[in-house]
Amino acid sequence: MTRRALRTEAPLELVLAPMRTKDLTGVLRIEQASFDVPWSRRLFVEELVQRTRVYRVAWRGRRIVGFGGLMLVDDEAHVNNIAVDPDLVGRGIGRVILSDLARRALEREARHLTLEVRADNQPALALYARFGFAPVGVRPHYYPGGEDALIMWARDIDTDAYQGRLHAIDSEVAVRVSVTTRS
């Protein structure tokens, strides 16, 4: 083996922080690269002022590399969106963001998480399965172009067992991603 082959890649250093309107240029760059019908700046601005919403961004240095958001209703948190810079997909950023969203949901006394996902989006389905999401139904023709959405739930996120799941996910990704969190 060469010296180069023996070196391990340094962990990504991320800062997770609340999303602000001044972050939307970076958020929209990722949104437009990730979705066939991206959300508009106006929609994000409207979401950010809602008290029942939580939006987070992941920074790498001075660049936004991912984001996610929740809508809270009673004891449920709906993952509205989550996206990672296409150049960095597969590096653990999505796991970090989803873990952070789950913890924010718990802070707001949510007991369950839900989301919709394109039925054929295998990478997203694998991510959500790690977090205990299971399909419970289908929204036919939910997405533009007529694709179906799976409705997925992770129930009882307020239990010790789910806390253990989050801890295991965080420990696994910590080898690849170093995270600083800002409230």
Q: Per residue in 1-29, pLDDT tens? A: 444 444 467 789 999 999 999 999 999 99
pLDDT beyond 60 at 33:
yes
Catalytic (active-site) positions: 116, 128
Domain-wise residue ranges, the chain? 3-181
Segments in the chain forming alpha helices (H) = 3-6, 24-34, 41-48, 93-107, 122-130, 160-173
Q: In angstroms, what CA-CA distances link 28 with 13, 53, 84, 97?
A: 22, 18, 11, 17
- The CATH architecture annotation of domain 3-181 reads 3-Layer(aba) Sandwich (3.40)
Question: What is the pTM for the complete model shown?
Answer: 0.92
